[in-house]
Amino acid sequence: MSDIPSENPLKQEPASDGEGGERAKNNQDRPPAIDLAALIDTIKNEGATYRKEEQREDRGKASRERITIGLLFCTVIAIGWQVYEMVRVYGPVKEQAEASVRQAINSDKALVEAQRAWVGPQNAAITAELAIGKPIEVTITYQNTGREPALGFVYIVDTFSVTIADDKKGVTAQRSAIGMSQCKSDNKWQGGSVVYPATGFSSYSLFSKTKDDFVDDPLIKGDKIFIVQGCFLYRTFDTPHHSYFCYFYKTGLSKIQNLNICPGGHDAD
């Protein structure tokens, strides 16, 4: 019986858990092998794709910047052209407007000048012949030749004598200039009367008198000159105005009824 082969001679007992079983187990737990060449190619392809994408974005950004700069340039040109056209069109209009304003101002000024009060001296006279040791009484007539009353009318009169030599040195002119400057600088004063516009030959008069012993021998002989200077102050259309005058008397040259007008010392505003 022992010589009889087994029923299935190819059938063997399963291998024991020896060296062969251990190798099979290790093969099952080992991770699959990585294809490095394929991984490198993939990384290269992804890098190339990324760089191409960046290049496309850079080109797009550059194109947008160029378009933006072009639009800004066109906008600046358009604005400049509009400004040029506005200057070209409105320049004459502005000049016409300024001319109209100037004309209106001049018209108003001309109207005021035509209607305002104008007060000025008419004549200066000495009431009596000069006598040594006596005062000189002076009468000054004046008129309002304007169309409006002169309000707040006041006056200043200064009388003095000067030698011929001092007159030639400019003493009279210097004193007249000082008086004129003081009068012009006075734009505020209190009180005063009203000088109405003159009708026909009507006029107003004011009087001034020197000190009692004013007249001396040089004045009688003509070695001195008698000076009468003064200033009118008044308001018209609420605007202050001034009129400055100067007369003189010299024996042998002047008449007491009509004193001579000084070469200078006259002004009005």
Q: State whether 78 and 174 are in the same domain.
A: no
- Identify whether 24 is part of a domain: no
Q: In whole angstroms, what is the distance from residue 144 CA to residue 204 CA?
A: 9
Q: What is the mean pLDDT of residues 146-166?
A: 94
The share of the chain scoring above pLDDT 90, in percent, equals 47
Q: Tell me, what DSSP letter sits at residue 133?
A: T
Q: State whether 105 and 214 are in the same domain.
A: no
Selection from 195, 173, 184, 187 nearest residue 246 by Cα: 173
pLDDT of residue 10: 47
Q: State whether 78 and 110 are in the same domain.
A: yes
Q: State whether 190 and 75 are in the same domain.
A: no
- Identify whether 173 is part of a domain: yes
| pLDDT tens-digit map of 200-242 | 778 899 999 999 999 999 999 999 999 999 999 999 998 999 9
Q: State whether 110 and 124 are in the same domain.
A: no
Of 114, 138, 173, the position where a domain reaches its end is 114
| pLDDT tens-digit map of 36-56 | 777 777 887 777 777 777 777
Domain CATH number, residue 154: 2.60.40.10
pLDDT of residue 33: 57
- Identify whether 7 is part of a domain: no
Contact yes or no for 234/219 (Cβ under 8 A): no
Weakest-pLDDT range from 90-94, 111-115, 201-205, 252-256: 90-94
DSSP H helices in the chain: 19-29, 36-115, 164-168, 171-185, 217-221
| pLDDT tens-digit map of 54-80 | 777 777 777 777 888 888 888 888 888
pLDDT of residue 53: 76
The continuous run of DSSP H or E covering 239 comes out as strand 239-249
Number of domains in the chain: 2
Q: What is the mean pLDDT of residues 185-189?
A: 87
129-167 burial string, b = 16+ CB within 10 Å, else e? ebeeeebbebebebbbebebbbebbebbbbbebbeeeeb
Across-strand partners of 228? 159, 247
Q: State whether 229 and 214 are in the same domain.
A: yes
Q: State whether 40 and 92 are in the same domain.
A: yes
- Identify whether 4 is part of a domain: no
- Identify whether 28 is part of a domain: no
Of 97, 114, 131, the position where a domain reaches its end is 114
Q: State whether 141 and 225 are in the same domain.
A: yes
Of 114, 140, 164, the position where a domain reaches its end is 114
- Tallying the residues shown for the chain, one arrives at 269
Q: What is the mean pLDDT of residues 169-179?
A: 91
Place of tokens 């000069």: 130
Range of the domain at 85: 35-114
Q: What is the mean pLDDT of residues 3-10?
A: 49
- Identify whether 3 is part of a domain: no
Q: State whether 141 and 176 are in the same domain.
A: yes
Q: Which residue type, as a one-letter code, is found at position 105?
A: I
- Identify whether 25 is part of a domain: no
Q: State whether 74 and 133 are in the same domain.
A: no
Q: In whole angstroms, what is the distance from residue 215 CA to residue 203 CA?
A: 29
Q: In whole angstroms, what is the distance from residue 42 CA to residue 49 CA?
A: 10
Q: Is the pLDDT of residue 23 over 60?
A: no
Q: State whether 88 and 129 are in the same domain.
A: no
Q: Is the pLDDT of residue 97 over 90?
A: no
pTM: 0.61
